Structure 1
Amino acid sequence: MTAMRELGPDAVTLDERPIARRIGLILLDTDHTTETDFARLVASGEIGVYAARVAYANPTTPENLMAMRPRLAKAAAAILPGSELDAICFSCSSASAVIGDDTVRDAIRAGKPGVAVITPALAAANALAALGARKIAMLTPYLAETTRPLAAYMQAKGFHLAGVTCLGFDDDREMARISPASLVEAAVAATPDDAEALFISCTALRAVSVVAKIEARIGRPVVTSNQATAWECLSLCGATADPARAGRLFALDRPKAA
């Protein structure tokens, strides 16, 4: 048998972190889309993305969204236990509006103390403010009862709603199946002439890949849930992305809060 030699830890140099920056994602266990979008827009040799999932039961109603709140701390704690994160994103637009940003933040910090917390609703509001838009159109895939809290959230942030369109789905797995080409046409139809920008809500939608196409059709900026959270995560990490990949927003620095 060949002799085995153990050199010991002193024989090598340890980096402070395996990867320079770390972003956590808390996903619904039915989410098909966020990880793919973050792999495209955020993850790199310098930024790692690490996900945990929370139990979620359709239909997508305010009551079912609210039911996730007690599960957030455990999910946050499960992301790289014992290691610091630069931020955690709770990747559900409608739930962040229903539960509330402060409540989401406190729940996540109960599992990961002191971490920066990003929600799609607040990230979208910050993105729209950075783009200089105050009169906006909004498109969601949700039922009307689930769209209303998000519309109220955006109004509370100071936005005037020029139009609100919802597609009437109650299952986020079906929302993820809406074709990008269909999203383009729905977005065009949902944007009235007097809207300064369009917000497409829902992290389940495969909208990131068609942001530039929609902007070209409507001639105005487009903000989507995953695009906005990716932009905030990159900004917190001091990184940028190619505007051609995700619309006009990615040409901007991170703004003051909406």
Structure 2
Amino acid sequence: MPTVGFIYPDHAAEDDYPLAERMLGDGARLPVEHIYGTDLHAVAELLDLGSPARLAEGAALLAKYEPSAVVWACTSGSFVYGWDGAEEQVAKLSAAAGGLPASSTSFAFVRAANALSLRSVAVAASYPDDVAKLFVEFLGRGGIEVLSMSAADIDTAAEVGELAPEQVVELIVSRDHPDADALLVPDTAMRTLALIDMIEERIGKPVLTANQVTVWEGLRLTGATREAPGLGTLFRTKGA
């Protein structure tokens, strides 16, 4: 089974990754190492958080696990660079990791949406409005139409990580759009893995969340995507 290394900013919802290991149940290893900066959802701070130097530090910390791929487990710290800048960010991360396949949560959302043939979505963002709009622009570059976007205006990742499960569910469910093919929930600081199936049942459509798509993308990089119960439509769809 593969080992996929994840670079996670600060601390908030990183326990979703050992939970994913248990839910996959096949021996895949998903080690997490942390880099540190401000956790403010603001453009300048996010650009610093996702800088090449910080990600190179994360890649060095992951080396002891001998991963087959590495992923920058941060949505806002990748899409804030724009599409071209995020591609350069991933290329530099790959180089820092000795040429390993690399990606980020922002690209994971686009690839997961494409794998499910989603074309129009709603976005339930925890960020302030100006940051959330950058995610909408990023999705547009990936060919995904956003029918509606709501921003919860939560300033820091730490605050997002403190949300109770019922608050997470309400934040997501209340922001669906009836005509959207799916609902996207950026922010790896939000604990969602244990809630995805319940939320999908509530709204009757696929839900893609940041930690879910990040794990899926890491497995995709190693050629190890497969069906797994409890992790939403994305992990129940053959060929996804």
State TM-score, norm by structure 1: 0.83
Other-structure match for 1:48: 29
- Kindly provide the amino acid, as one letter, of the partner of residue 242 in structure 1: A
What percentage of residue pairs aligned between the two structures are identical?
Answer: 25
Distance (Å, rounded) in 2 between the aligned partners of 1:76 and 1:254: 29
- Kindly provide the amino acid, as one letter, of the partner of residue 13 in structure 2: T
Distance (Å, rounded) in 1 between the aligned partners of 2:69 and 2:178: 37
1:113 to 82, 98, 115: 98
CA contact (8 A) 1:42 1:233 kept: no
* Cα deviation 1:81-131 (Å, max 9, x = unaligned): 5x7421111111011101343122122123212111121111111111222
2:209 to 207, 219, 224: 224
Other-structure match for 1:16: none
Gaps of 5+ in 1: 1-19
Other-structure match for 2:166: 181
Distance (Å, rounded) in 2 between the aligned partners of 1:183 and 1:45: 28
How many residues get paired?
232
1 or 2 for the larger relative contact order (CA 8 Å, sep ≥6)?
2
Other-structure match for 1:170: 155
Residue 42 of structure 1, CA deviation = 3.2
Change beyond 3 A, Cα 1:217–1:157: same
CA RMSD of aligned residues (A): 1.9
Given the alignment of the two structures, is residue 250 of structure 1 paired with residue 229 of structure 2, yes or no?
Answer: no
Given the alignment of the two structures, is residue 98 of structure 1 paired with residue 98 of structure 2, yes or no?
Answer: no
Change beyond 3 A, Cα 1:234–1:221: same
Distance (Å, rounded) in 2 between the aligned partners of 1:144 and 1:156: 19
Given the alignment of the two structures, is residue 33 of structure 1 paired with residue 13 of structure 2, yes or no?
Answer: yes
Distance (Å, rounded) in 1 between the aligned partners of 2:231 and 2:166: 16
- SS where residue 56 of structure 1 aligns? coil
State TM-score, norm by structure 2: 0.89
Other-structure match for 1:193: 178
2:42 to 51, 55, 61: 61
Other-structure match for 2:224: 238
